[in-house]
């Protein structure tokens, strides 16, 4: 009489299977999490590129100054420029009436009657943003203005994005990002560790 066929796993096979799954998860999960965080960092940098080009394009199209600025109340119905615990960014038309010149044109302040074009929420998670100024105003030419009317500080030209990983190697580039803006309004993302060190120096940000 033939022995009854045995179905399923024996204890040794089950232990080996569990061991293999543990090894796969041990390598795969951290890599997947790092992949997600790198994507989030790249997405945040691309968002700033979009904001910059929106401001520049609208300035050229409307032939008025348009400002991108940090905003501590970016998600409220009447946002203003400034920094705070929950700093996001806004883009607004920095001119109440294009047909009438006024001292408030291009002053990097959301004055009564000026149109807010977009409101960007603060970063999420452990991501932080540091910049060398709180505003960037584009002239109708598409070039950024070195100083907005009535303002004492230079225009924003470096935006540093960093999370709790700091400035570490992430597959040949840094885990952090820097968005830079040239005087002609061209924006680009810098991603080497040396770029991050330079951005920390000019923004005063922290990205260990």
Q: Please, which pLDDT band fits residue 152 given cuts at 50, 70 and 90?
A: very low
CB 69 within 8 A of CB 89: yes
Return the domain boundaries, the chain. 34-203
90-117 pLDDT per residue, tens? 999 999 998 999 988 999 999 999 999 9
CB 142 within 8 A of CB 109: no
The helix (H) or strand (E) run that includes residue 179 is strand 177-181
pLDDT for 35 equals 75
Q: Is the pTM of this model over 0.75?
A: yes
51-95 pLDDT per residue, tens? 999 999 999 999 999 999 999 999 999 999 999 888 999 999 999
Residue 40 has pLDDT above 80, yes or no: yes
Which superfamily is assigned to 34-203 in CATH?
Answer: minor pseudopilin epsh domain (3.55.40.10)
pLDDT for 52 equals 96
Sheet bearing 66-71, strands edge to edge: 116-120, 88-93, 66-71, 135-138
Q: For residue 93, give every residue at least 6 positions away whose Cβ sits within 8 Å of its Cβ, in sequence order, or none.
A: 58, 62, 64, 65, 66, 114, 115, 117
- Measure the CA–CA gap between 136 and 143, rounded to whole angstroms: 10
């Amino acid at each position: 009489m033939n022995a009854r066929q045995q179905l399923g796993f024996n204890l040794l096979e089950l232990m080996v299977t569990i061991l293999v799954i543990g090894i796969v998860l041990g390598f795969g999960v951290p890599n997947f999490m790092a992949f997600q965080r790198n994507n989030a960092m790249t997405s945040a940098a691309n968002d700033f590129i979009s904001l910059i080009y929106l401001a520049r394009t609208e300035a050229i199209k409307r032939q008025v100054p348009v400002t991108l600025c940090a905003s501590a109340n970016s998600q409220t119905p009447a946002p203003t420029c400034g920094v705070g615990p929950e700093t996001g960014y806004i883009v607004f038309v920095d001119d109440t009436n294009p047909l009438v010149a006024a001292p408030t044109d291009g002053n990097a302040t959301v004055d009564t009657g000026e149109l807010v074009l977009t409101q960007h929420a603060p970063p999420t998670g452990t991501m932080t943003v540091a910049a060398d100024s709180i505003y960037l105003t584009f002239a109708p030419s598409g070039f950024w203005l070195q100083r907005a009317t009535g303002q004492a500080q230079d225009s924003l030209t470096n935006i540093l994005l960093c999370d709790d990983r700091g400035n570490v190697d992430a597959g040949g580039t840094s885990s952090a990002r820097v968005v830079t803006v040239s005087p002609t309004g061209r924006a680009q993302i810098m991603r080497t560790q040396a770029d991050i060190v330079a951005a920390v120096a000019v923004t005063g940000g922290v990205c260990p």
